[in-house]
Amino acid sequence: MSDLLEVESLDLEGRGVAHQADGKVVFIDGALPGELVRVQITRQKPSYDRAKLVDIVRPSAQRVSTPPCPNFGVCGGCLMQHLEPTAQVAIKQRALEDAFKHIGKVQPQQLLAAMHGPYFGYRFRARFSARFVQKKGGMLVGFREKNGRYVVDMDQCLVIPKHVSDMLRPLRTALSTLSRPDRIPQIELAVGDACTVLTLRHMEPLTDSDLNTLREFAAQHNVIWWLQPKGPETAHPLNPEDSDALYYELPDYDLKMPFKPADFTQVNHQINRELIRRALRLLEIQPNDRVADLFCGLGNFSLPMGRFAKEVVGIEGSATLTQRATEAAALHGLSDSAKFSTLNLFEVDVSWLRELGHFDRVLIDPPRDGAFAVAKAYSELSLAERPQRIVYVSCNPATLARDAGILVHNGGYELKAAGVINMFPHTGHIESIAVFEAGQTGPLKMFESLENE
C-alpha cells in the first residue's frame, strides 16, 4: 500500500521530508520540496519513518529530469543531482540561517550572495575506495554506495576533473593485474595545476611486475604515482624526482603554493580562488595591520594576506603544514612579514591570546569541529584588546553557529554578514563565510559590491 504525501523540505542527505497524517516525519529518497508523491514506508523508527518513492504525482519545477551522472542514486558521492544547482544552494543557505537561529540564537545583519563555481569537474582531491570483486570483472575503484557498504561499480565520475574520470576504467583494468589486487583498499587523488597524483595504498609489498604496470599506466595517462605501504607518513613517490611536482597557483596574489598529496588543500580550486578574494575583501586589511590566520594550513589565506598586511601570523595544528607555509613564504620573499607556528587551537585560552599581542584582523578557518576555544578566548578580551574584524570560514554550519553565539552573546561582537559558498555542488556539505565586528558599526562598506560580484 502506498501513501500520498506533500514534500515540505530537503535534508542534507538529499531526502525529501514530509509529515504523515498522524504527524510523524518521513524521509523519502529522491523526493523534492513542493512535490506531491506516492511513497511506500520501508523502515519505521519511533520518531521517524523512511520511505521509497513510488510515483511523482506532481513534480517540482526544480527537478532535473535526468541527473547527468549514470551513478546518481547509487553513489554516495553526490546526493542532490536531481535538484537544480541554484535550488541546492538555496537549501544550503536556509540550513545556514536555521543553524544561526536555532543553535547560535543569532542572525546575520546581511546575507551575502552565494558564491558559485563550476557544478562539475570541481573535485581536485578525492579518496576512492578500491575492492577486488571477481564476479564484477575485477577491481572496483570509486566512491562508496549510499548505503556505505559497497564500492560503486563506476567508469566515470562527473565531479572529478574529466581527465581523471576518463582514466577510471583503464585504472581499474591496470590494478586488476597487480599481484595482490585484493590488498589495495584505497587510492587518493590530488590534482595540482601541473600534474595529477594517485596515491596507492597497498597492504602487501609490490612486485617488480606491479611496479612496471604502474609505470606503464603513469606514462599512458600522464599521472604520478605515490605509494603508501602503511600509515600516511609512509607515502612516497614511486619516482623520487616527482616529489615536488604538486602545486596550485593563486594568480591574483602572484603565488605558487607547493603541496604534497596528503596535505590539506581546499578541494575545489576555482572556488578557493574566489573564497580567498572574498575573505580578503571582507577583512579590509590595511597596510599597517597585524593579521592572524588561525587554522592556517599551508598558508592558503596567510600568504595572500601577506601581500597587504604589515605582519601575518599563521597558526595551525600540523607541523608539516606550518613547515610548508614557512617554505612558501620564503619562496615568495614574505618571510619577514609572514610567520607560522604549530599549536593545538582546541586548547587555547584568553591568556594565550593576550601573549600573542594585538591583532587588527583575524581569519579563522577551522575543521568541522569548529573553533570553540578560539571563539571563547576572543569573547573574553576587553574591547580595547579585540581585533576589529573576524572573518570565519566554515565547513560545518552547526559549529559556526555555536561559535557565532559565543562571539555575539558572550563577547558582544556583531554578526555583520554571512553567506554560503558552493564549494561542493550536489553534496550535502555546506561551506560558508561569516563576518564579525567588535563594537557597534554601520553596514559593511563592501557589501553592495559583493552583492554584484
Ligand X SMILES: C[S@@+](CC[C@H](N)C(=O)[O-])C[C@H]1O[C@@H](n2cnc3c(N)ncnc32)[C@H](O)[C@@H]1O
Selected range binding ligand X among 96-104, 241-249, 343-351, 424-432, rule: CB under 6 A: 343-351
Given a contact cutoff of 8 angstroms between Cβ atoms, the answer to whether 437 and 415 are in contact is: no
Selected range binding ligand X among 7-15, 24-32, 164-172, 291-299, rule: CB under 6 A: 291-299
- Give the shortest CB-111-to-ligand X separation in angstroms: 22
Mask for 382-401, x = binds ligand X (CB under 6 A): -------------x------
Selected range binding ligand X among 36-44, 49-57, 297-305, 413-421, rule: CB under 6 A: 297-305
- Give the shortest CB-368-to-ligand X separation in angstroms: 8
CA distance linking residue 59 with residue 65, whole number of Å: 9
395 is catalytic: yes
For ligand X, the closer of residues 316 and 360 by Cβ is 316
Which amino acid, 229? P
Given a contact cutoff of 8 angstroms between Cβ atoms, the answer to whether 50 and 41 are in contact is: yes
Q: Is 318 in the site for ligand X (CB under 6 A)?
A: yes
Which one of 128, 226, 295, 392 is in contact with ligand X (CB under 6 A)?
295
For ligand X, the closer of residues 150 and 346 by Cβ is 346
Q: Is 296 in the site for ligand X (CB under 6 A)?
A: yes
CA distance linking residue 425 with residue 78, whole number of Å: 8
CA distance linking residue 221 with residue 163, whole number of Å: 9
Q: Which residue has the cell 521530508?
A: 17
CA distance linking residue 224 with residue 237, whole number of Å: 8
For ligand X, the closer of residues 185 and 367 by Cβ is 367
φ, ψ for residue 185 (rounded to 5)?
-90, -20
Give the length of the chain.
453
Which one of 225, 301, 359, 392 is in contact with ligand X (CB under 6 A)?
301
Beta carbons within 8 Å of 264's beta carbon, 6+ residues apart: 297, 298, 318, 321
- Give the shortest CB-268-to-ligand X separation in angstroms: 11
Other beta carbons less than 10 A from residue 288's beta carbon: 9
User: Sign of dihedral through CA atoms 374, 379, 385, 388?
Assistant: positive
Selected range binding ligand X among 138-146, 238-246, 292-300, 407-415, rule: CB under 6 A: 292-300
- Give the shortest CB-318-to-ligand X separation in angstroms: 4
Selected range binding ligand X among 59-67, 151-159, 363-371, 375-383, rule: CB under 6 A: 363-371
Given a contact cutoff of 8 angstroms between Cβ atoms, the answer to whether 103 and 96 are in contact is: no
- Give the shortest CB-295-to-ligand X separation in angstroms: 4
Which one of 44, 234, 239, 344 is in contact with ligand X (CB under 6 A)?
344
For ligand X, the closer of residues 181 and 428 by Cβ is 428
Selected range binding ligand X among 157-165, 293-301, 304-312, 407-415, rule: CB under 6 A: 293-301
CA distances from 111 to 97, 314, 416, 423, 444 (A): 9, 28, 9, 17, 11
Q: Is 365 in the site for ligand X (CB under 6 A)?
A: yes
Other beta carbons less than 10 A from residue 46's beta carbon: 5
Which of the following is catalytic: 69, 78, 296, 395?
A: 395
Which one of 313, 345, 391, 401 is in contact with ligand X (CB under 6 A)?
345
Other beta carbons less than 10 A from residue 114's beta carbon: 17
CA distances from 76 to 52, 142, 148, 286 (A): 17, 10, 7, 44
CA distance linking residue 79 with residue 12, whole number of Å: 8
Beta carbons within 8 Å of 95's beta carbon, 6+ residues apart: 12, 397, 430
Cite the beta strand spans of 263-337 per DSSP E: 290-294, 311-316
- Give the shortest CB-274-to-ligand X separation in angstroms: 13
Selected range binding ligand X among 295-303, 304-312, 326-334, 382-390, rule: CB under 6 A: 295-303
For ligand X, the closer of residues 33 and 297 by Cβ is 297
- Give the shortest CB-46-to-ligand X separation in angstroms: 36
Given a contact cutoff of 8 angstroms between Cβ atoms, the answer to whether 262 and 199 are in contact is: yes
Q: Is 321 in the site for ligand X (CB under 6 A)?
A: yes
Which one of 142, 297, 397, 428 is in contact with ligand X (CB under 6 A)?
297
Q: Which residue has the cell 576504467?
A: 169
Which one of 317, 335, 414, 446 is in contact with ligand X (CB under 6 A)?
317
For ligand X, the closer of residues 184 and 280 by Cβ is 280
Number of residues counted as binding ligand X (CB under 6 A): 19
φ, ψ for residue 116 (rounded to 5)?
-115, 145
> Which candidate, 26, 20, 23, 27, places its Cα nearest to that of 4?
20
- Give the shortest CB-315-to-ligand X separation in angstroms: 7
Which amino acid, 313? V
Given a contact cutoff of 8 angstroms between Cβ atoms, the answer to whether 444 and 416 are in contact is: yes
- Give the shortest CB-297-to-ligand X separation in angstroms: 3
Within 242-281, the residues that bind ligand X by CB under 6 A are 264-266
Binding-site ranges for ligand X (CB under 6 A): 264-266, 295-297, 300-301, 316-318, 321, 344-346, 365-367, 395
- Catalytic residue IDs: 395
